[in-house]
Amino acid sequence: MSNVLVLAEHMGGKLRKVTLSTITFAREAAKLTGGQVYVLVLGQNVSGIVAEAAAGGADKVFFEDSAVFANYLAENYTPAIVKVAQDQGVGIICGAASTFGKDLVPRVAAKFNAGMVSDAIAIWDDGGIKFKRPLWAGNVLTTVEVTTPVKAVTVRTTEFDPIEGASPCATEAVSTGVGASDSAQFVNFDQVKSDRPELTDAAVVVAGGRGLKSGENFGMIMELADSLNGAVGASRAAVDSGYAPNDWQIGQTGKVVAPNLYFAVAISGAIQHLAGMKGSKCIVAINTNAEAPIFQVADYGLVADAFEAVPAITQKIKAL
């Protein structure tokens, strides 16, 4: 029996939704190990975040409220995670396959000499704990067995819905004794300020492609997104053309999203783009070319000029 530890990710005093999805994965893992699901929150003034995590369906939330963790720094987080994992008999350590998880989980794995799986989409036991993970823009699914006593995993959170309606679990303050690292120091965090929801957390995403022909034309994409309280995304071709910022890119080399509603506007639907959005619950494609591959994955397809269709849809939504 070993326990499963979820590394909580938070930003601006709020728990990231990807952590809740990671807890769902951890519940699957704990069924196999026969252990408990724990969440670890590191930060400063984290009581609100701890409360959010405690309602996420875990068995216990451990937290350390300390100035050392006021800003995320892997050099400070790693020894604290190692200490808690050792103290709590943890066999599987998991985080979201986000920028945070990709930075942190491999470092923790290295400290335990643990086998590591990236982007896990399934876990099962058929005489050994195995994981499924996508490769090559999702065109290949591989099965990975991890045989080390401690296993480290980043989770593709779009595959796991948060647990709804869980009763709040127990919380416990810990003191790991970790001090500020000598080797690295937090200097500054340049955050792009936006009132829109974070792309990977949003229930609605409106994405634009190269067919929009300019950055200014993304204005109508933003207006449609705002009418639905959604986030704005872009194809890589739109980003490379300078129409949209880098952090809007969705796809194999961008962000992976799975909102309830995804608008692909003037996006052809190359496999590398589909790799980042095909898990969306409902896909609406607007494209002038009826043969565009995006229509093969769309639930609703509109063969139309985006410059006419998008403002018309926005107007209808605003009128509701």
Q: How far apart are CA 300 and CA 285, in angstroms?
A: 6
Cβ closest to ligand FAD, residue 27 vs residue 236 = 236
DSSP for 187-223, please give it: ----PPP-SSPPTTT-SEEEEE-GGG-SSTTHHHHHH
From the CB of 320, what's the least distance to ligand FAD, in Å?
Answer: 24
From the CB of 199, what's the least distance to ligand FAD, in Å?
Answer: 13
Q: How far apart are CA 67 and CA 90, in angstroms?
A: 25
Cβ closest to ligand FAD, residue 23 vs residue 286 = 286
Q: How far apart are CA 143 and CA 120, in angstroms?
A: 10
Residue 132 C-alpha from the chain's centroid: 17
From the CB of 131, what's the least distance to ligand FAD, in Å?
Answer: 23
Confirm or deny that 287 is annotated as ligand binding.
yes
Confirm or deny that 99 is annotated as ligand binding.
no
Residue 196: count other Cβ atoms within 10 Å of its Cβ.
15
Confirm or deny that 235 is annotated as ligand binding.
yes
Confirm or deny that 196 is annotated as ligand binding.
no
Confirm or deny that 280 is annotated as ligand binding.
no
Residue 7 DSSP symbol: E
User: Strand order of the sheet with strand 300-303?
Assistant: 231-234, 204-208, 261-265, 282-287, 300-303
Cβ closest to ligand FAD, residue 19 vs residue 272 = 272
Cβ closest to ligand FAD, residue 5 vs residue 267 = 267
Residue 42 DSSP symbol: E
From the CB of 14, what's the least distance to ligand FAD, in Å?
Answer: 27
Residues that bind ligand FAD (CB under 6 A): 209-211, 235-238, 249-254, 266-268, 270, 272-273, 276, 286-289, 292, 305-307
Q: How do strand 2-7 and strand 34-43 relate by DSSP bridges?
A: parallel
Cβ closest to ligand FAD, residue 71 vs residue 241 = 241
Cβ closest to ligand FAD, residue 13 vs residue 245 = 245
Confirm or deny that 23 is annotated as ligand binding.
no
From 177, 166, 31, 167, select the one nearest 92 (Cα to Cα): 31
From the CB of 157, what's the least distance to ligand FAD, in Å?
Answer: 17
Confirm or deny that 88 is annotated as ligand binding.
no
From the CB of 198, what's the least distance to ligand FAD, in Å?
Answer: 18
Binding annotation: 210, 235-236, 249-253, 287
Binding annotation for FAD: 210, 235-236, 249-253, 287
